[in-house]
Amino acid sequence: MLTPASRVTKPDPADLLTWYDRHRRDLPWRAKPGEAVDPYRVWLSEIMLQQTTVVAVRPFYQRFLEKFPTVSALAEAPVDAVMQAWAGLGYYSRARNLHACAKAVVEKHGGLFPGTEAELLKLPGVGAYTAAAVAAIAFNQPAAAVDGNVERVVSRLFMVEDPLPKAKPLIRTLTQDLVPADRPGDFAQALMDLGATICTPRRPACALCPWMTPCRARAEGLQETFPRKIKKEAGQLRRGAAFVVLRADDSILLRTRPPQGLLGGMAEAPTSIWEPDYEPSRAVLDAPLDARWQRLPGVVRHVFTHFPLELTILFAKVPKGTPAPEDMRWTLRRDLHEEALPGVMKKVIAHALGELPAPAKEAPVKKRAAPRKGSSSS
């Protein structure tokens, strides 16, 4: 549903492109004017940027590209190496899909990304947004790439009254109507830049906006009330216990999560199940081995997309030569950086032992143990 446009004109894509030519962001994955666009870099950056910020992605992108400079290099790499390079970015199913997608591009398309939205959509892990973004930016196709930034800009421009997510199809149609035949790739990036730098969620800088005149929300002084949203129920808090075991040779007990599900394929200190009514006082019953367990003061808190988690930490020291339980392994503390530890597990180990040591130099990827049976994930 749109608010009637009585006093405003249609936004002109040319105004946005003129603004973009002056104010475009200099991003490591973005081709400079006149430079050839590398579809691999565009695709990689778009996958990395989902649900996170440019600032967070920059260092990961650079490191990732050094390790896997081409789609073929990525396809040939062991999946463990990809997971390790991804560790810290979150949303680990994306790293597995990234690898699967690289293999598909090499095996089915001879190492060249397909150039149409429809073909890109068939690749693993490539959804509607990514397909449109890659088609537009890498292949200059007139595709409408609609992410959260674009939803905000367009819902304000046209005062889309329907709340998200119901408004998504309408916003997509409105965006598609704006895409020019000339420079659709620059237009997609210009719209992203406008949303990221000018049409921000709070206090949009409307006075600097190339579409200030046709913007309906600005005309009504209602910018910050768009896009309309339905209030989300916060996920229910889950609790659990994590077990940090330090062997006398300075190694830590770890296991690998099953490939599917939350943090799939990542390394972790053994944990209990995570559930709302988990009782920490009984945590020792879930311990992976017999030891003198010490419950550490405080808890580790972490917020996943769908729920917050609170982990009680139990710590134990065991003698040298203690064998690892089935499907678990010992990793020397100095080698922990080689493990694909997600953020929550870095917090757990840091809570028990202090910060993880930084890698001394580039190290080979550690062979991963087989996935354990019986997930403790939610």
Binding residues for ligand SF4 (CB under 6 A)? 153, 156-157, 198-199, 204, 206, 209, 211-212, 215, 217-218, 223
Distance CA 35, CA 37 (A): 6
Kindly tell me which of 96 and 152 has the beta carbon lying closer to ligand SF4.
152
DSSP class per residue in 41-69: HHHHHHHHHTTS-HHHHHHHHHHHHHH--
Cα–Cα distance for residue pair 135/197, rounded to 1 Å: 23
Rounded Cα–Cα distance for residues 264 and 358 (Å): 24
Minimum CB distance to ligand SF4 smaller for 8 or for 336: 8
Burial (CB count <10 Å: 0-12, 13-18, 19+), residue 234: exposed
CB nearer to ligand SF4: give 205 or 363. Answer: 205
Q: Which residue is associated with the tokens 């292949």? A: 139
In angstroms, give the least distance from the CB of 220 to ligand SF4. 10
Per the listing, tokens 């973005």 go with: 30
Q: In whole angstroms, what separates CA 362 from the centre of its chain?
A: 24
Identity of the residue, 4 or 34, whose beta carbon is nearer to ligand SF4 in the bound complex: 4
CB nearer to ligand SF4: pick between 209 and 352: 209
Instruction: List the end-to-end C-alpha distance of the chain, in Å, as a whole number.
Output: 38
CB atoms within 10 A of CB 12: 15
- Smallest distance, ligand SF4 to C-beta of residue 214, A: 8
DSSP letter for each residue of 167-233: THHHHHHHHHHH--SS-HHHHHHHHHHHHHHTS-SSS--GGG-TTTTT-HHHHHT-GGG-S-BPPPP
Q: Which is nearer to ligand SF4, 16 or 98 (CB)?
A: 16
CB of residue 194 to ligand SF4, shortest distance in Å: 7
Q: Which is nearer to ligand SF4, 185 or 227 (CB)?
A: 227
- Minimum Å distance from CB 158 to ligand SF4? 10
Q: Using only C-alpha atoms, what is the Rg of the chain? A: 24
Q: Which residues contact 283 (CB under 8 A, 6 or more apart)?
A: 241, 272, 295, 312, 314
Beta carbon of residue 355, minimum distance to ligand SF4 (angstroms, whole number): 41
From the CB of 146, what's the least distance to ligand SF4, in Å?
15
What does the alpha-carbon distance between residue 115 and residue 143 come to, in Å, rounded to a whole number? 11
Helix (H), strand (E) at residue 73: helix 71-76
Residues carrying an active site annotation: 46
Task: Count CB neighbours of 28 within 10 A.
Answer: 13
Question: Minimum CB separation from ligand SF4 for residue 152, in Å?
Answer: 7
Instruction: In angstroms, give the least distance from the CB of 149 to ligand SF4.
Output: 10
Minimum CB distance to ligand SF4 smaller for 193 or for 339: 193
Taking alpha carbons only, the member of 14, 8, 15 closest to residue 214 is: 8
Strands 238-247 and 251-256: antiparallel
